[in-house]
Amino acid sequence: MNTHIAIYISNKDDKKSLIKNILSGNLIESINGLKGALFSEITINKFIEEEKRHGRFNIPTKNGHSLMKSSEGERKKALIKYLIAENPEYLIADNIFGNLDIKSQEEIVLTLEELSKSIPIIQISNRKKDLLPFINVIYKPEGKQIVPFEDFDSLSPKSKQYFIQDLPQPLEQILVESYYLVKFQNVSVSYLNKPIIKDICWEIKTGEFWHLMGPNGSGKSTILSLISGDNPKAFNQDIYLFGVKKGSGESVWDIKKKIGYFTSEMLQGFRRSDTIERMIISGFYDSIGLYKYPNENQISKAHEWLKLLNMFDIKNRNFQTLSSGHKRLVLIARAMVKHPPLLILDEPTNGLDDSDTIIFSELVNKIAKESSTAILFVSHRHEVGLSPDNIYELIPNEKGSSGRVVK
């Protein structure tokens, strides 16, 4: 019988090196010399890079699209099929459930369970509840090695108040024409004649905290791209953003100025080596790096945020050296320094470990409570610590997903 191993990691561990070590055969003796496959966003990103560079795609997807044009969930489903067809002798399964809806999560557990009958599975996870049912032994990283995780069952990340100070207030209020920040009236979108969303009617008002949910491929990211400005499908539709009809003369920049945006994908995008302090200040300029000299007020506002995040003492540290959990806090502060009327959080907890998810949720709940910024949290799953007031759900349909207000 195969032994199936889980390695429980935190966001402070160097996952990439860990995976490299496993694949090299140095870390786990029983797989030494075997041909491994890696089921991970790392592999998906590598294939997407290939697509961009060479214009070819090797992985068949549900709709026959490239990986780039597939939804996050569709990419993962296509990858697992592809890897299994390659007949690996063991599989490393990293962050299995990230981006997958509930039904797909159940399906992938069955797929992996079946696969575990013929090859060893090595699961890498930072969520206790994500552990696969057939895992025999749990390890944790220690230096460059892994050691058995003796007291795993009693592990329970505690919630303590992490952010003591009040939320910093904005230097100036961003004025919005209307109480309705987003208004969709019968909005429909199709790609290549395939209907994606149909007759969506939805409103987000000042200060509201929404959760947009729906299964993989139901159109959540499509809706976000209609709001945040760069989807040409938004034209000739009844979409009103911040009181102005979309396409009636406002620039993408006018819209972006009013939106703070965070997605876990940004963690891969920010490659510059700026200090944590400059990273937060760049939020005043909607830029990725800092190309202008900030004024005194902006610097002292950034310092207020750093104090709130308990990072003032390390403000000159390189952002890239932070753990993925701390990077997220800095990027949320960056998105919030101006108190945009709308803060979009797209799958923000994907890849986050148990304890950092608690901290992250505390910050988002605090923003909801202590600012007039409306929050749009997009995820296929309920995040236990987060407390949105309203839920809008997309329900897939052959004619395009319909939507309903759940609460």
Q: Which stretch binds ligand ATP (CB under 6 A): 67-75, 151-159, 306-314, 366-374?
A: 67-75
In single-letter form, the type of residue at position 200 comes to I
Return the structure tokens found at 152. 């795993």
**Rounded least distance, CB 213 to ligand ATP, Å:** 9
Q: Which residues contact 160 (CB under 8 A, 6 or more apart)?
A: none
Residues 18 and 26: beta-carbon distance below 8 Å? no
Question: Binding ligand ATP by CB under 6 A: which of 70, 298, 324, 371?
Answer: 70
**Rounded least distance, CB 221 to ligand ATP, Å:** 3
Residues 43 and 182: beta-carbon distance below 8 Å? no
**Rounded least distance, CB 379 to ligand ATP, Å:** 8
**Rounded least distance, CB 374 to ligand ATP, Å:** 20
Residues 66 and 74: beta-carbon distance below 8 Å? no
Q: Which of 342, 362, 386 is nearest to 208 (CA)?
A: 342
Q: Which of residues 255-314 bind ligand ATP (CB under 6 A)?
A: none
338 scored as a contact of ligand ATP (CB under 6 A): no
DSSP structural state of residue 95: S
**Rounded least distance, CB 97 to ligand ATP, Å:** 12
CB nearer ligand ATP, residue 222 or residue 373? 222
CB nearer ligand ATP, residue 12 or residue 69? 69
In single-letter form, the type of residue at position 227 comes to I
User: Using CA atoms, how far apart are residues 150 and 129, in angstroms rounded to an integer?
Assistant: 17
Q: Which stretch binds ligand ATP (CB under 6 A): 120-128, 158-166, 210-218, 258-266?
A: 210-218
Question: Binding ligand ATP by CB under 6 A: which of 78, 112, 122, 196?
Answer: 196
CB nearer ligand ATP, residue 213 or residue 281? 213
User: Using CA atoms, how far apart are residues 206 and 209, in angstroms rounded to an integer?
Assistant: 9
Q: Which residue shows structure tokens 């990283």? A: 141
Question: Binding ligand ATP by CB under 6 A: which of 12, 50, 51, 69?
Answer: 69
Q: Which of 129, 203, 127 is nearest to 356 (CA)?
A: 127
95 scored as a contact of ligand ATP (CB under 6 A): no
Question: Binding ligand ATP by CB under 6 A: which of 2, 63, 178, 310?
Answer: 63
Q: Which stretch binds ligand ATP (CB under 6 A): 37-45, 70-78, 160-168, 200-208?
A: 70-78
Q: Which of residues 368-387 bind ligand ATP (CB under 6 A)?
A: 380
Helix axes 296-308, 324-336, angle to 10 degrees: 140
Q: Which stretch binds ligand ATP (CB under 6 A): 8-16, 155-163, 198-206, 211-219?
A: 211-219
Return the structure tokens found at 368. 């909801």
Question: Binding ligand ATP by CB under 6 A: which of 191, 289, 369, 387?
Answer: 191
Task: List C-alpha distances in Å: 105 to 135, 195, 333, 376, 383.
Answer: 16, 25, 32, 24, 15
400 scored as a contact of ligand ATP (CB under 6 A): no
Binding to ligand ATP by CB under 6 A, coded x per residue (else -) over 216-255, reads xxxxxxx---------------------------------
Among all residues, whose Cβ is closest to ligand ATP? 73
The helix/strand/coil state of 358 is helix
Count helices and strands (H / E) in the chain. 11, 16
**Rounded least distance, CB 56 to ligand ATP, Å:** 17
What one-character-per-residue DSSP string does 105-165 give?
A: HHHHHHHHHHHHTTS-EEEEES-GGG--TT--EEEEEETTEEEE-TTGGG--PPP-----S
Q: Which of 126, 103, 194, 76 is nearest to 380 (CA)?
A: 103
**Rounded least distance, CB 226 to ligand ATP, Å:** 10
Which element (helix H / strand E) includes 225?
Answer: helix 220-228
Q: How many residues bind ligand ATP (CB under 6 A)?
A: 21
CB nearer ligand ATP, residue 193 or residue 236? 193
Q: Which stretch binds ligand ATP (CB under 6 A): 66-74, 248-256, 285-293, 310-318?
A: 66-74
**Rounded least distance, CB 69 to ligand ATP, Å:** 4
Residues 254 and 261: beta-carbon distance below 8 Å? no
Q: Which residues make up the interface to ligand ATP (CB under 6 A)? A: 63, 65, 69-74, 99, 191-192, 196, 214, 216-222, 380
